[in-house]
Amino acid sequence: MSKQTKAWGYGMLSVVLAGTVTLVGCSKDTGTSGGTAAPSTSTGSAQPAPKAEAPYELSWLKAQDISKPYDPAKDVVLQAVEKKLNVKIVPEMVDVQQYKTKLNLKMASGSIPDVVRIDFADDFQKYAQQGAFLDLTNLINEKDTPNILKEVPKEVFEQAKVNGKIYGIPYQGGPGAGYRWNLVFRKDFLDGMGVKAPKTLDEYYNLLKKVKAEKPDVIPLGGYTAQIGQQKYANNSFDHIFGAFGVTPGYFTQKDGTFGSYDIDPKMREALLYLQKMYGEGLIDKEFATIKEEQLRAKLYSGKLFSWMGWWSTANDYDTQVEMNELKKSGKLAADATLPSQADQPYKYLTLTDSLVGSDGKAVAPTGAPFAQMHAISAKTKDPKKVLSIIENSLSAENQMLSVWGIEGEDYKIDNGKMKVLTNDIIDQKTMQDKSGNFRGVQSYLFAPGLNGWPRYLESLPLRSSQALDVAIHNKYQITDASNYLDSPTKIAKLVELNTMRDSVFTQIIMGGDIKKFDEFVDKWKAQGGTQILKELEESFKKKSGK
The pLDDT value given to residue 178: 67
Q: Are 465 and 313 in contact (CB under 8 A)?
A: yes
> In the predicted model, what is the mean pLDDT of residues 433-460?
86
| Whether residue 37 has pLDDT greater than 50 | no
Do 164 and 223 have their domain in common?
no
Q: How far apart are CA 520 and CA 264, in angstroms?
A: 10
CA distances for 303 relative to 184, 240, 307, angstroms: 14, 22, 11
Sign of CA dihedral 238, 243, 246, 251: positive
Burial of 260: CB neighbours in 10 Å, binned 0-12, 13-18, 19+: middle
| Whether residue 18 has pLDDT greater than 50 | no
Q: What is the pLDDT of residues 495-541, one digit of tens each?
A: 989 998 998 999 999 999 999 999 999 999 999 999 999 999 999 99
Q: Of the residues 407, 435, 452, which one is the last residue of a structural domain?
A: 452
User: In this structure, what are the phi and psi dihedrals at residue 501, rounded to the nearest 5 degrees?
Assistant: -65, -45
Question: Taking Cα atoms as reference points, which of 10, 25, 21 lies closest to residue 78?
Answer: 21
Name the percent of the chain lying above pLDDT 90.
Answer: 57
Question: Is 2 inside any structural domain?
Answer: no
Do 324 and 285 have their domain in common?
yes
Do 252 and 325 have their domain in common?
yes
> In the predicted model, what is the mean pLDDT of residues 138-160?
94
Do 168 and 264 have their domain in common?
no
Do 240 and 358 have their domain in common?
yes
Question: Is 377 inside any structural domain?
Answer: yes
Q: Are 381 and 111 in contact (CB under 8 A)?
A: no
**Helix axis angle, 489-510 relative to 266-280, nearest 10°?**
30
Question: Is 28 inside any structural domain?
Answer: no
Do 189 and 147 have their domain in common?
no
The pLDDT value given to residue 478: 93
What is the tally of structural domains in the chain?
2
Do 330 and 231 have their domain in common?
yes
Rg of the chain, C-alpha, whole Å: 27
Question: Is 437 inside any structural domain?
Answer: yes
Q: Are 161 and 544 in contact (CB under 8 A)?
A: yes
Structural domain boundaries enclosing 171: 56-176+370-452
Q: Of the residues 404, 436, 452, which one is the last residue of a structural domain?
A: 452
The pLDDT value given to residue 177: 65
Do 494 and 443 have their domain in common?
no
Do 385 and 238 have their domain in common?
no
Confidence of residue 46 (pLDDT cuts 50, 70, 90): low
For residue 326, the 8-state DSSP code is H
> In the predicted model, what is the mean pLDDT of residues 141-164?
93
Sign of CA dihedral 504, 507, 508, 509: positive
pTM over cut 0.75: yes
Do 246 and 377 have their domain in common?
no
CATH of the domain at 405: 3.40.190.10
Do 343 and 377 have their domain in common?
no
User: In this structure, what are the phi and psi dihedrals at residue 295, rounded to the nearest 5 degrees?
Assistant: -75, -35
> In the predicted model, what is the mean pLDDT of residues 149-178?
88
Q: What is the pLDDT of residues 65-123, one digit of tens each?
A: 877 788 899 999 999 999 999 999 888 889 988 999 999 998 999 888 888 889 997 78
Question: Is 502 inside any structural domain?
Answer: yes
| Whether residue 3 has pLDDT greater than 80 | no
Higher-confidence residue of 213 and 106: namely: 213
Name the percent of the chain lying above pLDDT 70.
Answer: 88
Confidence of residue 26 (pLDDT cuts 50, 70, 90): very low
Question: Is 27 inside any structural domain?
Answer: no
Q: Are strands 181-186 and 305-311 parallel, antiparallel or unpaired?
A: antiparallel
Q: Of the residues 410, 435, 452, which one is the last residue of a structural domain?
A: 452
Q: What is the pLDDT of residues 475-495, one digit of tens each?
A: 999 999 999 999 999 998 999
Lowest mean pLDDT among 8-12, 155-159, 182-186: 8-12
Burial of 421: CB neighbours in 10 Å, binned 0-12, 13-18, 19+: buried
CA distances for 377 relative to 113, 128, 163, angstroms: 8, 10, 17
The pLDDT value given to residue 536: 97
Question: Is 462 inside any structural domain?
Answer: no
Residues near 249 by beta carbon (within 8 Å), at least 6 away in sequence: 232, 233, 242, 262, 263, 268, 502, 506
Residues near 301 by beta carbon (within 8 Å), at least 6 away in sequence: 318, 321, 322, 324, 325
Question: Is 68 inside any structural domain?
Answer: yes
Q: What is the pLDDT of residues 314-357, one digit of tens each?
A: 898 999 999 999 999 998 888 888 888 899 999 999 999 999 99
Do 76 and 138 have their domain in common?
yes
Confidence of residue 215 (pLDDT cuts 50, 70, 90): very high
Residue 188: other Cβ atoms inside 10 A: 15
